[in-house]
Chain A
Amino acid sequence: DVKVTQSSRYLVKRTGEKVFLECVQDMDHENMFWYRQDPGLGLRLIYFSYDVKMKEKGDIPEGYSVSREKKERFSLILESASTNQTSMYLCASSPPLPHSPLHFGNGTRLTVT
């Protein structure tokens, strides 16, 4: 079974802090994704990566950056956390096959106060 592990289940940070959300997958998948989930808005794509050191902006990249130094790890960085970044963050991975579903982690619920 694919395992996607997000380092924290709950996180509370202060406005202006730099925040790192870590995601590790154990299935040697090339593709990795970061989404945020908010009530009424569904999942929105922040950034994604199809290979090591490669990254592409999703639909809502403002205020975020990412790092993919190793194939199994994809980090989401909030350079200066703001209250409107309070959300559930979901990481996912998939192999580079045209009809593969995404496999999700359990999510990190981030609260910025």
Chain B
Amino acid sequence: EDKVVQSPLSLVVHEGDTVTLNCSYEVTNFRSLLWYKQEKKAPTFLFMLTSSGIEKKSGRLSSILDKKELSSILNITATQTGDSAIYLCAYRGDQGGKLIFGQGTELSVKP
């Protein structure tokens, strides 16, 4: 059975810290891996990764895929209280578009 596992499930840090969130997957077909950020409402899209070793970056957030290790990490540098959210990792295994999600990592950034 295909699955996505995220770790840690929750994390508390202080403003200014750097955090690394992990996502590992066991899937039969792989097309892409996506990261989302969810505050109180709709998950919002952060990154999509299809190729191993190529870092995607947006401001203080970055992500990279390792197909050999079947994993991805999401890094957030100089964290701010506005980074507090659930971070979701998902993979896409077929052409149709459905995503299979991990459990999510709940990040709390304290002032």
Contacts and interface: CB of A to CB of B under 8 A. Distances in A.
Interface of A: 4, 31, 33, 35, 40-45, 48, 50, 58-59, 90, 94, 96-107
Interface residues of B, number: 27
Interface string B1-15: 000101001000000
B30 to A, nearest CB: 12
Contacts of B45: 101-103
Nearest to A58: B98
Contacts, number: 66
B43 A31 contact: no
A99 B104 CA distance: 21
13 contacts: A31-B97, A43-B43, A43-B90, A43-B101, A44-B101, A90-B42, A90-B43, A101-B48, A102-B45, A102-B99, A103-B45, A104-B43, A104-B44
A66 to B, nearest CB: 14
A106 B38 CA distance: 10
A103 B41 CA distance: 12
A107 B94 CA distance: 25
